[in-house]
Structure 1
Amino acid sequence: MSDLGEVSRKLVAVFAADVEGYSRLMGTDEVGTLKRLTERRAILDRLIADHRGRIANTAGDSVLAEFGSAVDAVQCAVAAQTALAEANAGLAPDRHVNFRIGVHIGDVMVRAGDLFGDGVNIAARLQTMAEPGSVLISGATYDQVRKVLPMTFMDLGVQQMRNIQEPIRAYQVVAPGDAREMAPTRVADTDSPPPMPDKPSIAVLPFENMSGDPDQEYFADGMVEEIITALSRFKWLFVIARNSSFTFKGKAVDVKEVGRRLGVRYVLEGSVRKASGKVRITGQLIDAVTGAHLWANRFERDLTDVFALQDEVTVAVVSAIQPKLLQTEIVMAARRRPENLTAYDLFLRAMQQFYRSTREGLAETMRLAHRALELDPRFGLVAALASAAHMQNVVWGYAVDPQFDKKEAVRLVRLALSIDDDDPDTMALAALTSAFMVGDSESEIEMVDRAVALNPNSFRAWSSRGHVYRVAGLPEEAVQSFERAIRMSPIDPLLHRTFTGMGFAFIELHRFGEAIVAGKKALRQNPSYSLAHRCLAAAFALLGRDAEAREAAARLLELDPAFTIGAFVARGGQSNSKLMVEGLRKAGLPE
């Protein structure tokens, strides 16, 4: 017979659940609550057994179970919340028995079948943070299940938990089809404000219905939910869930207080007014720390198809504020003292240099990105950014040792994908770099299509898709992707590259006049971008406008005195078509 005091250790997935407001329910209806709890526990116990779990500790309204697999534990938690919600259906809200569930994979101590230790405590803290009816998991659990389960995981940022030495990143589990119902956090109800996340953070408040028509509430609320969902696709952005934002619905709010209570830097607010068959939507983005207004706009549309209108306004709002947020963060990073730099600040500074599209800018991008990787070797996006900079150093003719830069670009692409292959921006930059440095079109198209699928609101994903498809010999599809990118972010600081890529695609399609228009648009964005002058020189020459072609060629040689067609072909590899080379020759550029 084993010693009941014997303690052993093992690694398990800990499942912690308890009933929200149990004391209140018992105080209201002791007999009825006990009956309903018994019924719910039967459901919970059955599902734990069905998912190969073992109940370890129980105490009244709480359940602690262990699973050998994080996947089994999370699947059980989601199935349990679904079944428990069905059990509550038809009951008055004050008679609902709602569970909160937390899951963490970690090392635990086992004594007489009961579980103890930090692994248990973290699961219990996650459970107390969860909204009734929802599931929160730790970052360690997320790493185990994110590629396996067909669910969305909403990043709630790093959380400091009571009596837990190290902060823990938390994720909300959203089962397929439940994105709106299972998106709450308890941040707004806490007594002390939560810490700011370690990345840009935003809350979207309910838009005010100014129509005097209560029926328009659903339209305004639905549109805000769509905006929240769209913003949540940007993994570098921390987005407060709908249920926390909507606690401010119908209240006169101080934006600074909202930012403090929700722990966010930015707040988006707005209003909706319906009149005479039209709807007018206004929105404004505010820095909740300083109170400064960063962006404001008004959208007026015919109120015909409500859902199409919601989609249209969502795209317009998200495509306007996403680059504005990133630009604001870059400016703030530039103002910080150098000794305070972190990996994320270095990434922001590298992005600022990347936008310049110059020899010096690329060199600084690479330096800053490599420093960021030294601080955080698991920063997948910064590895992808560094790879793109090394690639451009080769393609644009700036590299002192092109073979070294090419090898570094390929190495960093592989590193980025090994770290994070489900981040749309990382996938987009990796596909872009690989298209120019490797030339495996099938693989690169698959990567960039995945980036677009992960975030259809991303300028970077659509613009990269345009370049990848052009290099793959599909210029028509490339043009459509570039057009989508421009629609996503009509004021993006990288538009000059998008317009130039579109110009190259138009040349492939023998649409030389449109290539000239695109090239000129690129130069209005960045007059020193040498690739735009290449586009114009070739397009003018192929159209027979020789004087303008020679003028564009001369400007190109001012910016890139060492330019030769031979070097251009060699460093661009498969990305340079015969038609493009023919145009450069006709423009009189040196061989």
Structure 2
Amino acid sequence: MASKGQPSKSCASSHLAEEKEIRAELQRILVSTEFKSTPRRRRLLNYLVGELLAGREKSLKGYTIATEVFGRDERFDPQADPVVRLEARRLRHDLNSYYVAAGRNDPLRINVPKGQYAPIIEWMDRDQITGSRKPLSTNSLPKHAISVAFFLRALLRRRYLVGGVVLALFGLAATVTVAVWQGQGRGDAEGHGPALAVLPFKADGGGTEQKLFGGGMADEILTSLGRFPDIRLYLPSGNDKVLDDPVEVGRRLGLTYIVDGSVGPNTERSGVVISTRLIEVQTGRIVWTGKYDRSYSAESLQVVRDDIAASVATSLGQTYGIVRTDELHRMAEDSSASVSSYGCVLQSYLYRRSLSLEAYMPALTCLEAAVQRDPGYAEAWAMLGWLEMDAGRFGWATGTRADEAYFRGLETTSKALALDANNISALKARSSIYHYLGNFAESERQQRRALALNPNDPDTMAQLGWRLAVRGRFDEGIPLLKQAIERTVNPPGWYYHLIAIHEYLEGRYSEMLSTAQTATVDGSGLSWSLVAIAEGELGHKEGAKRALANMADISPRLGRNPSEVYRRAQATDSIVQSLMSGLHKAGWQEPIKPQ
């Protein structure tokens, strides 16, 4: 037996074996031709891993790295010289790219989380590296392994404005994977997503028309919500309908949320005032409230009622709406629960807000596990098809042609449609794939079919508008994009890109700058490229310079060859040429190729 305070021989042997595996992985990365990194970032990675293995990871500071790796002297000032921060960010991008492609089947992964320099090591389960990945359970993880979910911390730490309430979405804890809830009223293998009921709206004074209005409101909201995926809808029984306490109704039914409301007259004119709210059953918390004040005539009563019901359902059920934002918020707070397939779908929705490589890998890993564990879940197959396509359109699948990635995405989304012929996410993914394959007619057909199935989905509307506009059909595309923004509580940045480009082409540079700055909420290099163009046209040299630096820092590929990135989106030649002219005016110069 080992003496007190000393490791046993078996522990020491295990530690040495692990160190050997880590060094082998480091060597695989450094010698890989797919590891697109400069010599000094290779030195940085080698140094960081060496310090980790030596037990000095806690002393890894910017000053130390600057002097030890980058040859700075004792006068180094991190505020004036951001070399360490910039090179660390680029190293993270290089590592993510490596593990998307060449390192996909490596037995372990070396990552440098955002906000620190100490690497972390993640050992992959054997099933995860054979093409049929499955997430590990907390109990089966070795103590040194951590979750791929840390990639999402930066996204989840952003503040989202929802219904006037700022929801601070905190980063996930270092658990195995994204957590969602299991049990009564929660997502499980038989039913995915939150369980929700809409109670009859109470008539708050007024005459017969108000009572009729309220009586049909719940049914219309339920009908509209049924068009959105992964919300399980329930009808309360006759006894439940007369209870005064909606939370008690929700708890008795085992629901996640209750929607209720009231209908009252507008005493100043012939109109109606609808008040509604979303209640989280477990805590009784009011998540969201809405108020609608509309005029109507006897002939238009049903039209007004249906319009308000559609607005309520859109606010609640859309991809970036109230329910999914609240689910993400609670998911981030509750890191103790087990993984579910619905959690993986939520993770993919969050990835699609930013389309960032750091959010891509955990979402892909989670979805691959979800379809293995839950092969009848159409939405998981549909979102996996999206991510397989993204490997091609963003060039992340090194060694795989873009069209191969696209055809794989088509095959995967076909599985979703075989399970659910009207799966809107699968139709949208296929529309996007056909767009990038250059089959614009089929792309538009698929997208219009998705929009016909759910005319209240702003995301479907925005995608159609984006694809029409990028092909030069601004008169059709821009109104759709603006309508999607109006109907979305918290629009993603890409909703604004083509609007900014249209404003640029029309010479409305101040408007373009405002729109492009709004788009930077997604943190993408493309948004910053549009900011740079607008700043350049307005003669703001320093602003243009900062925007170009952000563009290149976030997306080195865009910084090197922006025209290739614009063309990959299938933008018309005239759009690409105009954008390149704007970038040159902003100060962008083609990098000098090494001799």
Superposition deviation, residue 313 in structure 1: 2.1
The alignment status of 1:516 with 2:513, answered yes or no, reads yes
Residue 302 of structure 1 is aligned with which of 274, 287, 295? 295
Q: Kindly tell me: are residues 198 and 384 of structure 1, through their superposed partners in 2, closer, same or farther at Cα, counting changes over 3 Å? A: closer
Q: Percent identity?
A: 22
Residue 538 of structure 1 is aligned with which of 533, 540, 544? 533
The alignment status of 1:225 with 2:225, answered yes or no, reads no
State the distance in 2 between where 1:559 and 1:512 align.
Answer: 24
State the distance in 2 between where 1:270 and 1:455 align.
Answer: 24
The alignment status of 1:282 with 2:293, answered yes or no, reads no
Match of 2:552 in 1: 557
State the distance in 2 between where 1:531 and 1:406 align.
Answer: 23
Superposition deviation, residue 507 in structure 1: 3.9
Alignment of 1:36-115 (within 5 A): none
State the distance in 2 between where 1:532 and 1:547 align.
Answer: 17
Q: Which has the higher strand share?
A: 1
- In structure 1, stretches of 5+ residues that fail to align are 1-192
Residue 358 of structure 1 is aligned with which of 315, 334, 356? 356
Match of 2:411 in 1: 414
Superposition deviation, residue 579 in structure 1: 2.0
Residue 338 of structure 2 is aligned with which of 331, 337, 340? 340
The alignment status of 1:426 with 2:417, answered yes or no, reads no
Superposition deviation, residue 390 in structure 1: 4.6
Match of 1:318 in 2: 313
Match of 1:42 in 2: none
Q: Secondary structure at the match of 2:465?
A: helix
Conserved in 1, the CA contact under 8 Å of 2:273 and 2:291?
Answer: yes
Conserved in 2, the CA contact under 8 Å of 1:395 and 1:572?
Answer: no
Superposition deviation, residue 205 in structure 1: 0.7
Q: Kindly tell me: are residues 370 and 567 of structure 1, through their superposed partners in 2, closer, same or farther at Cα, counting changes over 3 Å? A: farther
Match of 1:500 in 2: 497
Superposition deviation, residue 449 in structure 1: 0.6
Superposition deviation, residue 233 in structure 1: 0.7
Match of 2:160 in 1: none
Q: Secondary structure at the match of 2:193?
A: coil
Q: Kindly tell me: are residues 235 and 349 of structure 1, through their superposed partners in 2, closer, same or farther at Cα, counting changes over 3 Å? A: closer
Alignment of 1:174-193 (within 5 A): none
Conserved in 1, the CA contact under 8 Å of 2:200 and 2:217?
Answer: no
State the distance in 1 between where 2:513 and 2:399 align.
Answer: 30
Q: Secondary structure at the match of 2:197?
A: strand
Q: Kindly tell me: are residues 374 and 471 of structure 1, through their superposed partners in 2, closer, same or farther at Cα, counting changes over 3 Å? A: farther
Conserved in 1, the CA contact under 8 Å of 2:385 and 2:426?
Answer: no
Q: Kindly tell me: are residues 337 and 560 of structure 1, through their superposed partners in 2, closer, same or farther at Cα, counting changes over 3 Å? A: closer
Conserved in 2, the CA contact under 8 Å of 1:467 and 1:478?
Answer: yes
Match of 2:466 in 1: 467
State the distance in 1 between where 2:230 and 2:502 align.
Answer: 31
Superposition deviation, residue 375 in structure 1: 2.0
| Matching residue's letter, 1:515 | M
| Matching residue's letter, 2:493 | H
**1:189-225 deviation digits (Å, cap 9, x = unpaired):** xxxx999844322111111101242331111223332
State the distance in 1 between where 2:405 and 2:375 align.
Answer: 15
Superposition deviation, residue 317 in structure 1: 1.6
Match of 2:37 in 1: none
Superposition deviation, residue 329 in structure 1: 2.4
| Matching residue's letter, 1:374 | Q
| Matching residue's letter, 2:474 | P
Match of 2:454 in 1: 455
| Matching residue's letter, 2:196 | I
Q: Secondary structure at the match of 2:455?
A: coil
Aligned residues: CA RMSD: 3.1
Q: Kindly tell me: are residues 223 and 463 of structure 1, through their superposed partners in 2, closer, same or farther at Cα, counting changes over 3 Å? A: same
State the distance in 1 between where 2:336 and 2:282 align.
Answer: 22
Superposition deviation, residue 454 in structure 1: 0.6
Residue 201 of structure 1 is aligned with which of 195, 198, 204? 195
| Matching residue's letter, 1:301 | R
State the distance in 2 between where 1:588 and 1:279 align.
Answer: 56
Conserved in 1, the CA contact under 8 Å of 2:403 and 2:437?
Answer: no
Match of 1:573 in 2: 568
Conserved in 2, the CA contact under 8 Å of 1:413 and 1:430?
Answer: yes
Residue 246 of structure 2 is aligned with which of 244, 250, 255? 255
**1:366-385 deviation digits (Å, cap 9, x = unpaired):** 22222222223443333333
| Matching residue's letter, 2:471 | A
State the distance in 1 between where 2:237 and 2:486 align.
Answer: 28
Match of 1:266 in 2: 257
Q: Kindly tell me: are residues 567 and 507 of structure 1, through their superposed partners in 2, closer, same or farther at Cα, counting changes over 3 Å? A: closer
**1:487-523 deviation digits (Å, cap 9, x = unpaired):** 221324xx21212243234445665444333212222
Match of 1:293 in 2: 286
**1:537-579 deviation digits (Å, cap 9, x = unpaired):** 2344456666544442233123234434636416742523332
Match of 1:442 in 2: 441
Q: Kindly tell me: are residues 585 and 335 of structure 1, through their superposed partners in 2, closer, same or farther at Cα, counting changes over 3 Å? A: same
State the distance in 1 between where 2:399 and 2:448 align.
Answer: 29
State the distance in 2 between where 1:333 and 1:403 align.
Answer: 34
Residue 208 of structure 2 is aligned with which of 193, 214, 232? 214
| Matching residue's letter, 2:295 | D
| Matching residue's letter, 1:314 | A
Superposition deviation, residue 365 in structure 1: 2.1
| Matching residue's letter, 1:461 | T
Conserved in 1, the CA contact under 8 Å of 2:200 and 2:215?
Answer: yes
Q: Work out which of the two has the higher radius of gyration on C-alpha atoms and give 1 or 2.
A: 1
**1:109-155 deviation digits (Å, cap 9, x = unpaired):** xxxxxxxxxxxxxxxxxxxxxxxxxxxxxxxxxxxxxxxxxxxxxxx
Match of 1:488 in 2: 487
Equivalent pairs counted in the alignment come to 390
State the distance in 2 between where 1:234 and 1:477 align.
Answer: 25
| Matching residue's letter, 2:280 | D
Superposition deviation, residue 534 in structure 1: 1.4
Q: How high is the TM-score relative to the length of structure 1?
A: 0.59
Q: Secondary structure at the match of 1:422?
A: coil
Conserved in 2, the CA contact under 8 Å of 1:475 and 1:508?
Answer: no
State the distance in 2 between where 1:445 and 1:376 align.
Answer: 31
| Matching residue's letter, 2:268 | S
State the distance in 1 between where 2:204 and 2:525 align.
Answer: 50
| Matching residue's letter, 1:225 | D
Superposition deviation, residue 428 in structure 1: 1.8
Conserved in 2, the CA contact under 8 Å of 1:353 and 1:364?
Answer: no
State the distance in 1 between where 2:377 and 2:507 align.
Answer: 42
| Matching residue's letter, 2:453 | L
Conserved in 2, the CA contact under 8 Å of 1:463 and 1:481?
Answer: yes
Q: Kindly tell me: are residues 446 and 508 of structure 1, through their superposed partners in 2, closer, same or farther at Cα, counting changes over 3 Å? A: farther
| Matching residue's letter, 1:259 | G
Q: Secondary structure at the match of 1:575?
A: coil
State the distance in 1 between where 2:458 and 2:237 align.
Answer: 26
State the distance in 2 between where 1:374 and 1:238 align.
Answer: 22
| Matching residue's letter, 2:428 | A
Q: Kindly tell me: are residues 550 and 500 of structure 1, through their superposed partners in 2, closer, same or farther at Cα, counting changes over 3 Å? A: same
Q: Kindly tell me: are residues 203 and 234 of structure 1, through their superposed partners in 2, closer, same or farther at Cα, counting changes over 3 Å? A: same
State the distance in 1 between where 2:403 and 2:221 align.
Answer: 39
Q: Kindly tell me: are residues 334 and 416 of structure 1, through their superposed partners in 2, closer, same or farther at Cα, counting changes over 3 Å? A: farther
Q: How high is the TM-score relative to the length of structure 2?
A: 0.59
State the distance in 1 between where 2:403 and 2:588 align.
Answer: 25
State the distance in 1 between where 2:388 and 2:562 align.
Answer: 17
Q: Secondary structure at the match of 1:563?
A: helix
Q: Secondary structure at the match of 2:558?
A: coil
Superposition deviation, residue 292 in structure 1: 1.8
